[in-house]
Chains A and B, each alone.
Chain A
């Protein structure tokens, strides 16, 4: 069925179709409408789930962790300060290898108070062991949410779907929503390696020899490495079932014959693609490698860009170094040009990208440049 949905409502719809059984979340703009919608679905009996109205984000992820470790499909969502407030639990659920899904509506971090998008919040999850995906449009946010449950449960790692504040969360697009039976056919019953149930006298998380911690971390590193294949497989089979295949860890856009390649992630990729189309029409050999998964990092895919002129456009900056994507991409292929833009929700539209890419192709960008230059001078 084709339906007009905002990004947040699409995520809620996907959670419902994935038959989540326990949902806990705390309000924060721009995430709030996801859980409002889910609360409404539970209240109306459209979704057979427990909704826990927790008193903080730390408790939201703690409650979802409890539910998931007891064996139920569980979901939460947050943004920005909410993520930072739950940060201890972010690491705990990953280290405990508990499958669950969280939507992260990206929003900058204060001060000053600002509810608009950049990717600083999401990328603080980088080293925690979560599988970190980022959507370009509402349909992709919907699809990633359903895929998230399957991928997470296959590798015993938590999964997050990043979607940009307002540009996706509050913007309505036409979404292809499959019916329940189709989703049931594609998404198997929840599975996980272990459960905490009465009568099963296991102790989870107690003290152990240091080697025990090290071994668990090693196993986790292996699991997230292996998730590359699981993600690709999920993307393929999802494509076969629903007709939408994105390409796995990255999406390649007009890369055939491209000498100039833009690397970026998130909602603004749509506008950047429009700019690429215009420049292609003029004969400039430019394309995009869109990062769909920040973790596991698409290192093999990025490696294919060796020998090309690469521009990484970042919506997050690592203080004291460079853009976070810029840093990561250059760790694979060496020096890249890195533009920092859209911080705190600053608008970057098709015209901006067109101008930026033109400058890039004519080598007029500095290696590290905050965009647009006028704002920062």
Chain B
């Protein structure tokens, strides 16, 4: 695997064992001249306690809903000054909820920034509350009986903004994520990556299993890897699973996580339907943007 040797996230940082953000942040090391913008969330903690810091690149911590707007201002200033920079917003799914208008606004303006939403499917930093992308039926501290609402498709919504680049990725397939970041560094304008980030304490699984569970999400078809840069393609790790019969049964994915404990057969059938709908959407996009 051609992962970068030197990581922008330094060893000894306070991320939990098996933290998906830590995996994803390391992959960002393939980008040059990074300025990282981080709203409130687990990454605030991972960043370390002053006067120490966990990153070897400049990091600007900003209010929860403001990250993409702050990044727009940074990018504008660097443009004015002729400074080469990759302004990268690294945000959680919660920040993407509260700051959705800012993501949408910056996308419409085609700001020259990279936005990565590291989606652990809940507000982890405040103690596992339900978010817009929390998986169907998953238990969180604000949905103790299981999430009853929809799960929104953030990358799909961003695709509809007609920005230069949108992709999904997974911490279970870091090479794929790194390839996408490399692709991103060749493009200018608004680039969006929705990164699937299974979180051991939040989803209740053993901290040694982050990558395994991230991969099960892809293998069961519950998370689909794709990329759009004018053309829409299903990414290689997900390609085999276009064929439904090749997929690992969804139950295999679900049973690995405490957040799904006690789901009925009916619940699982319902989720399967949702997953099927998602595949239909993705396959339609593939046909539409050939």
Which A positions have Cβ atoms within 8 angstroms of B? 21-22, 24, 49-50, 52-56, 58-60, 62-72, 74, 88-89, 92, 196-209, 212
Contacts and interface: CB of A to CB of B under 8 A. Distances in A.
A22 B45 contact: no
A92 B63 contact: yes
Contacts of A207: 44-45, 47-50
A205 B60 CA distance: 7
B127 interface: no
Contacts of B68: 59
19 contacts: A22-B73, A22-B77, A50-B77, A52-B72, A55-B104, A59-B66, A62-B69, A66-B37, A66-B71, A66-B75, A68-B77, A70-B78, A72-B77, A92-B63, A198-B33, A198-B78, A198-B86, A201-B57, A203-B54
Interface of B: 33-35, 37, 44-45, 47-51, 53-63, 65-66, 68-81, 83-86, 101-102, 104-105, 108-109
A128 to B, nearest CB: 14
Contacts of A70: 73-74, 77-78, 81, 83
A206 B77 contact: no
Contacts of A199: 33, 58
B47 A206 contact: yes
Contacts of B83: 70, 197-198
B90 to A, nearest CB: 13
Contacts of A69: 60, 73-74
Name which of A66, A197, A198, A212 has the most chain B CB atoms within 10 A of its CB.
A66
A201 B55 contact: yes
B80 to A, nearest CB: 5
Given A199-B33, A203-B58, A66 B74 contact: yes
Given A58-B65, A198-B33, A198-B34, A63 B101 contact: no
Nearest to A66: B73
A21 B44 CA distance: 30
A89 B57 CA distance: 24
Nearest to B102: A59
A72 B50 contact: no
B69 A50 contact: no
Contact of A67 (B55, B74, B105): B74
Contacts of B49: 206-209
A69 B50 CA distance: 19
B98 to A, nearest CB: 10
Contacts of B70: 62-63, 65-66
A67 B73 contact: yes
B53 A50 contact: no
A204 B102 contact: no
How would you classify the secondary structure of chain B's contact residues: helix, strand, loop or mixed? mixed
B81 A62 contact: no
A21 B78 CA distance: 11
B35 A198 contact: yes
A202 B66 CA distance: 20
Contacts of A89: 63, 66
A56 B102 contact: yes
Contact of B61 (A72, A88, A203): A203
A203 B59 contact: yes
Nearest to B111: A52
Given A203-B48, A206-B53, A62 B109 contact: no
Given A58-B102, A66-B76, A72-B77, 19 more contacts: A21-B77, A22-B73, A49-B80, A50-B80, A53-B109, A54-B105, A55-B101, A59-B102, A62-B69, A66-B70, A66-B71, A72-B81, A74-B73, A198-B84, A201-B53, A204-B61, A206-B49, A207-B47, A209-B50
Given A58-B66, A62-B70, A22 B59 contact: no
A62 B73 CA distance: 7
Contacts of B51: 208
Name which of A21, A55, A62, A67 has the most chain B CB atoms within 10 A of its CB.
A62
Contacts of A196: 35, 58, 60, 74
B66 A201 contact: no
B7 to A, nearest CB: 13
A56 B34 contact: no
A92 B62 contact: yes
A63 B58 CA distance: 17
Nearest to A72: B77
Contact of B60 (A63, A88, A204): A204
Nearest to B101: A55
B73 A52 contact: yes
Name which of A198, A204, A209 has the most chain B CB atoms within 10 A of its CB.
A198
A184 B55 CA distance: 39
Contacts of A200: 58
Contact of B80 (A22, A59, A62, A204): A22
A48 to B, nearest CB: 8
Contact of A201 (B56, B76, B104): B56
Nearest to B57: A201
Contacts of A60: 69
Name which of B61, B104, B109 has the most chain A CB atoms within 10 A of its CB.
B61
A67 to B, nearest CB: 4
A203 B55 contact: yes
B80 A55 contact: no
Contacts of B44: 206-207
Name which of A53, A59, A208 has the most chain B CB atoms within 10 A of its CB.
A59
Given A65-B73, A66-B71, A198-B33, A203 B47 contact: yes
Nearest to A26: B105
A212 B50 contact: yes
A248 to B, nearest CB: 32
Given A63-B76, A64-B73, A202 B58 contact: yes
B50 A208 contact: yes
Contacts of B75: 66
Nearest to B64: A88
B58 A197 contact: yes
Contacts of B59: 202-204, 206
